[in-house]
A and B are shown apart, each in its own frame.
Chain A
């Protein structure tokens, strides 16, 4: 039986499991160990210029200042909380770069996101859930949104025209002047050599490995597709 005190834990109420202080400290150390970190965070005046410039701050309870502050103050608990929540509310537009101290809160968030993904944090899984189709498309084809993804059932607000277009999608695409755009399942026609190179990049940079922590199923599918092609090309990843 779950005890009342366990249910009342603030972190659990916020939607993620609490972990030990040591684990939080380890994650923060991983953030700070990033080569970019010293150039992304100097010291914080707590002046709020980054918040004033931040579009996300207008719509969410999100503050790039608090990100910089928590990291500068070495507040392990708060940094962890932010990795489970706040960092996914940033649109990575880097308006916060106008910091007078030369800080880059958006860049700190980039690092925090990478650490969250690499460590399979619940927030990373949740944040990327809605993107599995796009991740699949990008990593398997090298193009992002394909015409056949833009179906009327997904976008009812697009009006009646979109149905007509999707019914005759291949024909409409043929009407486009550049031949490379005569595609429906990819954004454009991807050169086989480009695709092979991309797959090598996904393997070599660890980008594919990152997916493993947040979406095991997607990782397995992608790995299979990539290995098959690379095998055909005689490349062992």
Chain B
């Protein structure tokens, strides 16, 4: 039986935006979120401030959450997962498991907003000693410190005097298999570098990179201020290894533009880990029977001009479930997915009424 309801899977920035858009267009929506809380990765991974505008992640995501839960047309299901689906565009039947209980939700269209997870530097090899040295951390670990204004060396609890970021960890790497650029890490690392300089003005901050990818306005919203106002040092050259030397970490690499090898002591090393498809993205893609690309992200069926349709009619995807995306792209694709999903259920309503 045809249904006008739209099911959104995932309660992060993409899912919240999609659910809100669908509800605003007057279509009933069910938002299915696996964890006990809405807000997605920015909340679960303790992001301090959002890139690029430095607004508190809790405040910004809180606003998105409020918009959704206050909308009468939205049925939010926390701690819930879609475990099965049949039917076709216009008349899907989804099995939603909440705790031990299963319910069937009828939907005309589905929007997948299951997002990404941070690359694990210990996934295959012990890259840069992430699990070996306490002072080697990742972007999200530093976010958590910045959030509570307590940036200290995990090894001794003292504020660092020298911090470096290592870019492209788990991205742009044929051996690891993630050949893509994760898009956001240059901006996020630079944003965090600025925050470190704000919170610890005496701490020197270095960013070791392959290419700085600061698209569009991020250039003069983050990159230029980081260099010009906060004197963050950008060095083109990727660190090959991190070694322990006394109570310091020695990073080894090449200063390519100066044409010299370098061995620099650091108090903390921050790995700018990239994006990988979340477990939810992988599972949901299989459950719904939609194609994934070679990296496990959901494949858009007709790029570049249709970024949200998938291989199965009636199922749309948005945000970082489709691949690395910043927040701006995430909410944009979420709104596009909502528009396409609503169009689909409305057309069917017109068709049903006419018959």
- A73 contacts the other chain (Cβ, under 8 Å)? yes
- B227 contacts the other chain (Cβ, under 8 Å)? yes
A42 and B233 in contact, given A65-B257, A69-B258 (Cβ under 8 angstroms): no
Residues in chain A near residue B234, CB distance under 8 A: 43, 46
Interface residues of B in 217-232 (CB under 8 A from A): 223-224, 227-228, 231
Interface residues of A in 83-133 (CB under 8 A from B): 101
Residues in chain B near residue A44, CB distance under 8 A: 227
Provide the bound-state CA to CA distance between A72 and B257, in Å: 13
- A148 contacts the other chain (Cβ, under 8 Å)? no
B228 engages A46 (CB within 8 Å): no
Could you say which of A65, A66, A72 contacts B227, with CB atoms under 8 Å apart?
A72
Could you say which of B223, B224, B257 contacts A69, with CB atoms under 8 Å apart?
B257
Provide the bound-state CA to CA distance between A69 and B223, in Å: 16
B257 engages A43 (CB within 8 Å): no
Residues in chain A near residue B227, CB distance under 8 A: 42-44, 72
Could you say which of A42, A72, A74 contacts B224, with CB atoms under 8 Å apart?
A42
B276 CB to closest chain A CB, in angstroms? 30
Could you say which of B231, B235, B236, B257 contacts A74, with CB atoms under 8 Å apart?
B231
B236's nearest neighbour on chain A, judged by CB, is A46
A46's nearest neighbour on chain B, judged by CB, is B257
Interface residues of B in 197-226 (CB under 8 A from A): 223-224
A73's nearest neighbour on chain B, judged by CB, is B233
Interface residues of A in 37-57 (CB under 8 A from B): 42-44, 46
A198 CB to closest chain B CB, in angstroms? 40
B228 engages A42 (CB within 8 Å): yes
Provide the bound-state CA to CA distance between A167 and B223, in Å: 66
Residues in chain B near residue A72, CB distance under 8 A: 227, 233
Provide the bound-state CA to CA distance between A44 and B227, in Å: 8
State the interface size on chain A (CB cutoff 8 A). Answer: 11
Name the residue in B224, B228, B236, B257 with the highest tally of chain A Cβ atoms < 10 Å from its Cβ.
B257
A66 and B258 in contact, given A42-B224, A43-B228, A72-B227 (Cβ under 8 angstroms): yes
A43 engages B233 (CB within 8 Å): no
Provide the bound-state CA to CA distance between A44 and B258, in Å: 13
Residues in chain A near residue B223, CB distance under 8 A: 43
Provide the bound-state CA to CA distance between A135 and B224, in Å: 42
**Beta-carbon contacts of A67-78 to B below 8 Å, as 1s and 0s?**
001001110000
A43 CB to closest chain B CB, in angstroms? 3
Name the residue in A46, A65, A66 with the highest tally of chain B Cβ atoms < 10 Å from its Cβ.
A46
Residues in chain A near residue B258, CB distance under 8 A: 66, 69
Interface residues of A in 3-50 (CB under 8 A from B): 42-44, 46
A38's nearest neighbour on chain B, judged by CB, is B228
A82 CB to closest chain B CB, in angstroms? 12
A65's nearest neighbour on chain B, judged by CB, is B257
Provide the bound-state CA to CA distance between A46 and B233, in Å: 12
B141 CB to closest chain A CB, in angstroms? 26
B260's nearest neighbour on chain A, judged by CB, is A78
A43 engages B236 (CB within 8 Å): no
A74 and B233 in contact, given A46-B257, A65-B257, A69-B257 (Cβ under 8 angstroms): yes
B236 CB to closest chain A CB, in angstroms? 6
Provide the bound-state CA to CA distance between A73 and B224, in Å: 14
A66's nearest neighbour on chain B, judged by CB, is B258
Residues in chain B near residue A74, CB distance under 8 A: 231, 233
**Beta-carbon contacts of B228-266 to A below 8 Å, as 1s and 0s?**
100101111000000000000000000001100000000
Provide the bound-state CA to CA distance between A153 and B29, in Å: 96
B90 CB to closest chain A CB, in angstroms? 52
A72's nearest neighbour on chain B, judged by CB, is B227
A70's nearest neighbour on chain B, judged by CB, is B258
Provide the bound-state CA to CA distance between A42 and B234, in Å: 13
B227's nearest neighbour on chain A, judged by CB, is A43
Provide the bound-state CA to CA distance between A73 and B233, in Å: 6
B226's nearest neighbour on chain A, judged by CB, is A43
Residues in chain A near residue B235, CB distance under 8 A: 73
Residues in chain B near residue A46, CB distance under 8 A: 234, 236, 257
Residues in chain A near residue B257, CB distance under 8 A: 46, 65, 69
B232's nearest neighbour on chain A, judged by CB, is A43
Provide the bound-state CA to CA distance between A101 and B224, in Å: 9
B202 CB to closest chain A CB, in angstroms? 13
In order of increasing CB-CB distance, the 9 nearest A-B pairs are A43-B227, A46-B257, A43-B228, A42-B228, A73-B233, A46-B236, A43-B224, A69-B257, A69-B258
5 residue pairs of the A-B complex, CB under 8 angstroms, read A42-B227, A46-B234, A69-B258, A72-B227, A74-B231
Excluding A66-B258, A74-B233, A101-B224, 4 further A-B contacts by CB distance (< 8 Å) are: A43-B224, A43-B234, A46-B234, A46-B236
